[in-house]
Structure 1
Amino acid sequence: MSEYISLRMKSYFEPSHEGNWIEHKAHIDYDLWFIQSGIVNITIDGVIHTANPGDVIFLYPGVPYRASTSDMGCRFIYIHFDFEIGKQQRILNDFPLSGVISKDMIQEEFIRLGNAFYQLKLLTSLPGNRLYLKSCLMAVIAKIIELYGQGQYIGQFLNEKKFRKPTTNLDVLKPVFNYINDNLQKSIKMNELAALVGISEKYFISYFKKALGITPGQYIYQIKMNRAREYLYSKKYTVQEISNLLGYPDPFTFSKAFKKYYNVPPSKFE
């Protein structure tokens, strides 16, 4: 699924607040706060949640909150971002992840992101620093999702009535993803994929598009092009061999599909 994840950092900063700081807000983006010092209290629906140094606060878009600090003040790194899979925007809203993630659960990712932030802050002119911060943010989000999937964490900010119920479940499509990855060398038919999850072909196509925002055919095409790129980078295969490995009838058809995707023919791809 990593090919279809889109992560856009909107802004990032490190504010420091005195002991009398109070903030009432509802953000339009996802918001992660990495508490560096002091104590931050987040009040949502009258319930107070406390975050200590090393903890991470995860706020969802459109959710009003009241933030305040202790007499000692506080300092934290925040990042506003958007996250989607395929064309499914705000897909994290399908899961109760919004809350305080304790430092013992996310310490490694917390430290890595903090280092990336300070490196970017000090050396903004160096290429790649913002990209590295973005990759560290992705690692934090992946860790939170992993913790939730393993039953080790569930967000405290939104109860079951508040977060959006998913209309589709990506877990249902896992056999399809695995089958496609293992059978790129052949022509994959929609009825074969539908049979893997025990639903009709028509409903399968609709379900797949609702889950990812693209059709199964578009997904297969993109997976093949990503695999083609890997084969070309390895410099172990000819265009003819790659064409066979990806189930194209001849090198011309493969080259045409490749050029449509990358805007250059495979012979000139670097």
Structure 2
Amino acid sequence: MANYRTLFLAKEIYSLPFEGELNNLYLRSKVYEIIHNEFYSLINTNKLPSSSSHEILLRKDDFEALHNTRNFIIENKKNLCIKELIKKASVNKNKLRYGFKELFNTTPGNLVFEVKMHEAKSLLEARELNITEISDAIGYKYVQSFSYAFKKYFGITPSEFIKSKKGTLSD
């Protein structure tokens, strides 16, 4: 499995979707992922699977589908439900969750959350929409829920973030 993960990470390095300093950061993170995967593989090659383990086997096409689904989440920046992601990946719910945990060290839901928070931050920085509009744009029904989630992720409320950027937006 580590060989497939390394192959896909190498493909991600080859595509380098960013420019400038973000590109350098992305490249470093992928190299660290490859190193982690290789060491993890070396450490765990001598371990026997436990009899209680119900490990899900990922095929080569599953790896590609999971990477495509991850890219879909990142590119679409919208509120996606697990059913949409299962359909996109063409795998069952258990394989989707297991694959995301194995390949990306996160869950599909957490990745959607992270993408939404970074999109909200970008929208706040652009100063074209107010907090209520941004909350709605990224799929929150209530501004309070959005503010709580933003603070949980970034450690600062959207209003505080705006003030820290020395801009003014009305709620």
Tell me what 1:254 maps to.
146
- Inter-CA distance 237–202: structure 2 relative to 1 (3 Å threshold): same
Q: TM-score, normalised by structure 1?
A: 0.38
Q: Structure 1 unaligned runs (5+)?
A: 1-89, 98-131, 146-161
| CA displacement at 1:91 relative to structure 2 | 8.7
> What is the CA–CA distance in structure 1 between the aligned matches of 2:155 and 2:67, rounded to whole Å?
31
Report the equivalent of 1:138: 24
Deviation at residue 202 of structure 1 after TM alignment: 1.6
Q: d(CA) in 2 for partners of 1:192 and 1:137? A: 29
Q: In structure 1, how many angstroms separate the alpha carbons of the residues matched to 2:159 and 2:81?
A: 29
Q: Which amino acid aligns with 1:214?
A: T
**TM-aligned CA distance change 1:93 to 1:192, over 3 Å:** closer
Q: 1:267 corresponds to which letter in structure 2?
A: S
For 1:228 and 1:137, the matched residues in 2 are separated by 21
State the Cα distance separating 1:93 from its structure 2 match. Answer: 8.2
Q: Shift of residue 179 of structure 1?
A: 3.8
Tell me the matched-pair count. Answer: 118
**8 Å CA contact retained: 2:77, 2:115:** no
Instruction: From the CA coordinates, give the structure whose radius of gyration is larger.
Output: 1
Of Structure 1 and Structure 2, the greater helix share is in 2
Q: Which runs of 5+ in 2 are unaligned?
A: 10-19, 32-41, 43-57, 166-171
Give the alignment partner of residue 100 of structure 2, picking from 190, 208, 213.
208
Of 233, 237, 243 in structure 1, the residue corresponding to residue 129 of structure 2 is: 237
AA partner of residue 138 (structure 1) = N
Cα–Cα, structure 1 residues 228 and 137, in superposed 2: closer, same or farther, change >3 Å? closer
Correspondence for 1:172 among 62, 65, 68: 65
TM-score, normalised via structure 2 length: 0.57
CA displacement at 1:173 relative to structure 2: 2.4
Structure showing the higher strand proportion among its residues:
1
CA distance in 2, matches of 1:267, 1:218: 23
Match of 1:182 in 2: 76
RMSD: 3.4
